[in-house]
Amino acid sequence: MSNSRTLHPEDQIAQYRVVGPLGAGGMGEVYLAQDQSLERSVALKVLPHELTRSDDRVRRFVQEARSASSLNHPNIVTIYEIGQEPVKSASGDPDSGPLHYISMELISGKTLGAKIHEEKTDLKTLVGYLAQAAEGIAKAHAVGIVHRDLKPGNIMVSDDGYAKVLDFGLAKLTEKSSTAGPLEATEIASQRTVEGAVMGTVSYMAPEQVQGKAVDARSDVFAFGCILYEAATRQRPFLADSNVEIMHKILNERPRPVEELNAECPAELRRVIRRCLAKAPDQRAQSMKDIAIELREIFDEYDSLSASNTSATQTMSTIPAIKKRNVMPLVVVVAAVVIAAIAFGWFGMMRGKQGDHAQPFENMRLSTQTNRGDIADCALSPDGRYIAYVAGRANQHTLRVRQVATGSDVEILPVQDASMEFPSFTPDGNYIYYCKRSADKPNYRVLMSVPSLGGPEQERGFDVDSRLAFSPDGKRACFIRNYPQRSVVALVMQDLASGQQKEIASVPGPGTPLGSPWWSPDGTYIALCIVSAPPRANSVVALFDPETGKRSDFFTRKGAFFLGGLAGMPDGSGIVLAGFDLSATLTNQIFMLSYPEGNLRRLTNDLNTYSNITAGGADAAVSAARTTAISNLYVVDTATGESRALTSTASPENSPVGLAPLGDRVYFSRLHGDFLGAASVPLAGGDATTYETGDGHVQALLAANGTILLWRITTDQQMHIWRMEPSGSIKQLTKGGGERLLRMSPDGKWFTYVVTDSTRGVWIMPTDGGEGRLVSAAAQQGVGSFSPDSKEVITIEYEVDEKGFARTVFKVMPIEGGAAVATLRLPPRGDDWSGVPGTRSVSFIDAADPNRNVYSADVDNAAVPRKVTQFTEGILRGHEWSPDGKQLAVVRRLGTDENVWVMNRDGSKPRQLTNFTGLTIQNIDWADDSRRLVTNAGQLSVDVVLIRNLK
């Protein structure tokens, strides 16, 4: 064997001195080597001379190097260097020709296969290792890398308890459309030719890989299911005497039930294995991240799990009405930055092996409390025994209460045609307070209460904009009230017996309170998180005296780091916050801020999104609503009905955000490395193109008439608008203190924006650059649309009626400047408005209509809006006119399904265009040809989770 090796001890390649062999496989040989430059030991992988004749092997070797070196994760082997150098022989033989090599992290430990079969490691510990490996694989999937050769031998467990995924030698970038040929499986299997041996690679292949079909992240899910099965049973799921028979079994047979081989295997783990081993890719678990989360739960609760029944807590993978163009993307814009919520992360689950010193939060446990997928808000009772939650979609909400210990779940309020928000228990747990918007005053929230075991509703207050924070004795409560006209947020105190209110403090702009206040258990202060947007970003946890309103700032974090969603520990020892670091991630994590020390520590780390944090119970539990979102782009030909998926991601991390069709391509944002970058894909289908838009996040894209605009937030907190050419080059257009993109004119010559230093006003600028001009100082920030002929700008203002209630007013302003040429007052519940091409009309969805049909009103004579659509079943969540104005597309929800319908301009001849099942539509937009329609649709699920043992 030694004579057949490529390298020998003391051989030299580049700065590496060979010490001895470590192993060999179909894609190369691995040696222990000494990096003489940095004086460290490394694992050196080389491609032998006899294999360099194969261009395909060389390509795969380089592919492995590039794929693996792009990953940076504690559960993936670290790549130090990639190179190609000649070998200097220690024996004095002539130097060889150049060899391809990879220098990588040297791991001292055993393979997972050795842990399973030689050391007979217990199943709980194996689940811990596999949860770590799943995290690493999920990271690879997030950047478009599919391993394609997962097996126990490619997972190393270090001596200190960390699992590391190795050997991306067969990795395939999912952005490429290349598919395996029908003989690829045989070729892979033939890489090892020991007669009679059962090939490990073949044993873990997914059915589509065996058939030579396209491979994606779900193929790794199948292979990972095979590894889980082997860990649980000590044998592979598909056994036979030859590779051909193994492939036949993979395609046609189910493996022997796990419980027949290991009766003690928890039912929860068996369920995960079954989900992974589904033959059809669309029937499998769709995300390795979800598998990692489930395995963490199983590990944490292993000792209490049953071998016969699955628990009621299952990990699962609502959004408001659709808005125009940038229709509520998966990343939600709050305070001029993307701010989502949290998912339960996990670090150092196996760290206990390294020492006896307990790590903070090492005993945290997460359990999923609901499996509905439509949670809008939630709150934990002060004693931690109950969870109140709002469920439903599109403002059809119900209020329910779940008992944590038993899992019993009861309806407190039936489904209502109202938006319910901010549930909270009184300190004694007898009542639940919540807010809902009334039909006659849709711009305001009414404070309501209901007995926590059910009963009649009672109105308790008006104009409440946050969850209540109760005084320790339960006699008073405080909340946030927004005054958008004055750019002020007030902290309001209310006596619960009399209903009398008073403002005890106010926060003027530019700081914006995020989340709700929290009243300390000793009653001495009320905590509130206040965030300032870039370019002077900082997050402050401020403490207010309940009697005087005097403010003192307890904690300040400056820079691109945003905190919000505040809740407090029942014993007052800490404050829990949701937040994110713009330089690192787009999703909120949960952080713990100790009191009175003021030390901030991260609790979670994930790309799922969580919100609505509350705390309670003796074990310091935290409840939150967790959102899992996976989406893809689809294009439909409205004439033929032909549809096509333009992207095929199976992970939240790689899902497209937004969409902007232009010419024969559609542009969108997608995670590229550590940042959201711009990308595009042909409308006819094909490979995606990613553009190098620099460090920072592309939050929004607009495209019209050959012009592409980007809104970018950079890591130095700068928020500006850029123009991007189809080639990918970008030019900065705005250069002020921070700007946010609103809309672009249909002719592609103008765009509107807001300046983040101010709280109101819409500005306009040419798309080829120039000076910005204020269109309306009174206009609200979120709207600055254009008329279909690109000659006018439509802004939104508020006017106060004789009763003191604000009402939305639309002003039509000439694009060249001057006074408003028309004023349009829509019905109080008008929403999702749009200009109608070829007319001087505005269309909108009227939420007062039971089916939320589309109406239109003439700008010059809006007294009587005209009903455009005539649906009597389901509800509409958004609408979009074709560029030529001849067709109208709407998003219609029927039951649990959302689909796009298209009809004539007058609403006649409606027909269903898409056939999605169980998907939520995030965006719709027409291609320039007024024939093809692009949608961003995916699985969007929100459920309540409970995190325990934070002490």
Buried b (16+ CB within 10 A) or exposed e, 366-403: bbbbbebbbbbbbbbbbebbbbbbbbbbbbebbbbbbe
3-state secondary structure of 776: strand
In the chain, helix, strand, coil percent, each to 5?
15, 40, 45
Q: What are 393's two structure tokens?
A: 């979609």
Phi, psi at 736, each rounded to 5° = -85, -150
Altogether, the residues listed in the chain come to a count of 951
The contacts of residue 6 (CB under 8 Å, 6+ apart) are 29, 46, 48, 49, 87, 99
Place of tokens 């993978």: 317
How many of the other CB atoms lie within 10 Å of CB of 3?
Answer: 5
The two tokens of residue 636 are 């439909």
Q: How many CA atoms lie within 13 A of 749 on its CB side?
A: 10
CA distance linking residue 235 with residue 736, whole number of Å: 64
DSSP states of 126-179 as a string? HHHHHHHHHHHHHHHHHTTEE-S---GGGEEEETTS-EEE---TT-EETTS---
Measured distance CA(632)–CA(948) in Å, rounded:
34
Q: How many Å apart are CA 445 and CA 641, to the nearest integer?
A: 43
Q: How many CB atoms lie within 10 A of CB 63?
A: 18
Integer-rounded Cα radius of gyration of the chain: 30
- Which one of the listed residues 11, 55, 56, 149 is annotated catalytic? 149
Amino acid letter at 110? Answer: K
Q: What is the DSSP letter of 728?
A: S
Q: What are phi and psi of 464, to 5 degrees?
A: -115, 130
378 - beta bridge partners? 389
Phi, psi of 467 (to 5 degrees): -65, 150
State the amino acid at position 729 in one-letter form: S
Structure tokens at 361: 């939060």
Angle, in degrees to the nearest 10, between helices 267-276 and 217-233: 140
Name the nearest CA neighbour of 711 among 727, 723, 694.
723
Q: Which of 808, 758, 781 lies closest to 444 in space, CA to CA?
A: 808
Runs of H (alpha helix) within 237-336: 243-252, 258-261, 267-276, 288-300
Neighbour order of strands in the sheet with 689-690: 657-662, 665-672, 675-682, 689-690
Residue 143, burial from CB neighbour count under 10 angstroms (0-12, 13-18, 19+): buried
> What SS3 string covers 904-917?
ECCCCCCEECCCCC
With beta carbons less than 8 A apart as the criterion, state whether 411 and 398 touch.
Answer: yes
- Residue 571 known to be catalytic: no
* Cβ–Cβ under 8 Å, residues 11 and 20: no
Tokens at 546, concatenated: 């309940």
Distance CA 766, CA 744 (A): 10
Query: Two tokens at 719?
Result: 């928020």
Please, what's the b/e burial string for 511-527 (b: 16 or more CB within 10 A of its CB; e: otherwise)?
bbbbbbbbbbeeeebbb
- β partners of residue 264: none
* Separation CA 750–CA 770 (nearest Å): 11
The CA distance from 5 to 49, in Å, is 10
The residues assigned a catalytic role are 149
